[in-house]
Amino acid sequence: MNLYENSHRILVALDCIIFGFDGKALKLLLIKRNFEPEFGKWSLMGGFLEENEALESAASRILFTLTGLHNNYLEQLQTFGAVNRDPVERTISVVYYALVTIDDQDPVTLQAHNASWIDLADKPALIFDHDQMVETALRQLRYKAAMYPIGFELLPEKFTVPQLHKLYEAIYGVQLDRRNFSRKVIATDLLRGTGEKDETSLTKKGQLYALNTEKYQAYLNGYATFMPELAELAKP
């Protein structure tokens, strides 16, 4: 017995906004479409929800398909459901954003999907409502990176304080006082010294750190806030 036989069928899509950091700039992973609709234009990576699939499983599948990575930071952002957002058929999109380490990507996988890392500042116009999705995700990233230290997800396993400083400047698009930033980060106890040094650095600031995962989890659980003063920079 079909209790919903008089209801309309609507497609559910998943779109993934994938952020990366190359040591200098915040980047987006975009695809140059080689299929219709909007052949030849830039878009986010997406796909449709399968019949027996949970939303987060679908988002993880899409992320893995494009990057070859599992277990990255992945968060549901928002649902976009304007009636005419897709010119082909009525489609509701559930949007996730992910934070990945660019160096961990498989370039062959990216090439196979016609995907490229593009500086956020140089982002081309995207199809449908994807530009709006990216703007919404960036605001959320800026807020969450202030309250919780999720920005560390964009760094390699070992990093220097100057690299972390450059990352947060890239996220917020402003210059942050270096000494003040370093002092506050060290006070969080999130950094664990490795005893190693960045061989390309000529100063003591080249000391390599790793993330204190136990402390990091405490921040994610809300037992402390990272740099709440930065949350003001998340506002439009």
CATH number of the domain within which 129 lies: 3.90.79.10
Give pLDDT tens digits for 134-185.
999 999 999 999 999 999 999 999 999 999 999 999 999 999 999 999 999 9
Statement: residue 65 has pLDDT above 80: yes
Same domain, 17 and 98: yes
Can you give the pTM of this predicted structure?
0.93
In this structure, are residues 206 and 200 in contact, taking their beta carbons and an 8 Å threshold? yes
What's the number of domains the chain is made of? Answer: 2
Q: Do residue 134 and residue 19 come from a single domain?
A: yes
Report pLDDT digits (tens) over 118-138. 999 999 999 999 999 999 999
> Same domain for 63 and 87?
yes
User: What residue numbers bound the domain in which 222 lies?
Assistant: 156-234
Q: Are residues 131 and 160 in the same domain?
A: no
Model confidence pLDDT, tens digit, residues 69-118: 877 899 999 999 999 999 999 999 999 999 999 988 878 888 888 899 99
